């Protein structure tokens, strides 16, 4: 059973998800979710059902990396876990530029036939204390304001507190508004 003192358990779940997304392995990606999974991306309609969720992530090609920092986990009995925290999303812009977007997320994990799966996830852009967007900047540059978790994967600065790197070069669950298709990476 996962606990607040077992971050390796969640890191492995995140890594499994990221590897499926990174390799565009739709079957493995679908296996990360429950049959009736729900995504609540910022500024978009609810996405319901495993097939629709997989379709959403299949279109998230602009996501380059995600860094999760689970700041609160709570076991809900023996077969459910609520996870909340900070997320740093690295996205590719229109050209070769990359941008970091600080977000916050909450996920519900459910054990199905002995395997932990994502049942629901909601996320939104984190704001700097006192308003303002914060937490965004070009990769490798200075800071992007002070808004919320994680650290930059490359270069200096950072978007806030000390997050943990969860794999490389791809997307991960809870990806700020960056997974939206077309236009800017704003929420």
CATH topology classification for 7-179: Nuclear Transport Factor 2; Chain: A, (3.10.450)
What pLDDT shows up at residue 41?
Answer: 92
DSSP assignment of the chain equals ---TT-HHHHHHHHHHHHHHHHTT-HHHHHHTEEEEEEEE-TTS--EESHHHHHHHHHT-TTEEEEEEEEEEEEE-SSSEEEEEEEEEEEEE-SSS-EEEEEEEEEEEEEEETTEEEEEEEEEEE---TTSS--SEEETBSS---S-SS---SSBS--SSS------SSS--SS-TGGGS-SS-S--
Sequence spans of domains, the chain: 7-179
Q: Which tens digit of pLDDT belongs to each residue from 69-97? A: 899 999 999 999 999 999 888 888 888 88
pTM of the predicted model over 0.75:
no
């Amino acid at each position: 059973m996962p606990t607040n003192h077992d971050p390796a358990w969640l890191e492995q779940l995140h890594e499994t998800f990221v590897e499926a997304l990174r390799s565009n392995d739709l079957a493995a990606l679908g296996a990360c979710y429950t049959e009736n999974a729900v995504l609540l991306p910022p500024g978009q309609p609810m996405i319901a059902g495993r097939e629709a969720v997989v379709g959403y992530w299949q279109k998230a090609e602009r996501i380059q990396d995600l860094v999760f920092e689970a700041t609160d986990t709570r076991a809900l009995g023996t077969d459910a876990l609520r996870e909340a925290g900070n997320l740093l999303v690295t996205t590719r812009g229109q050209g070769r530029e990359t941008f970091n977007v600080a977000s916050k997320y909450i996920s519900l994990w459910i054990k199905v036939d002995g395997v932990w799966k994502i049942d629901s996830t909601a996320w939104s852009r984190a704001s700097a204390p006192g308003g303002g967007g914060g937490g965004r900047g070009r990769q490798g540059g200075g800071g992007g304001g002070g808004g919320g978790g994680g650290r930059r994967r490359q270069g200096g600065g950072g978007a806030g507190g000390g997050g943990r790197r969860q794999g490389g070069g791809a997307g991960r669950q809870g990806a700020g508004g960056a997974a939206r298709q077309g236009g800017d990476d704003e929420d």
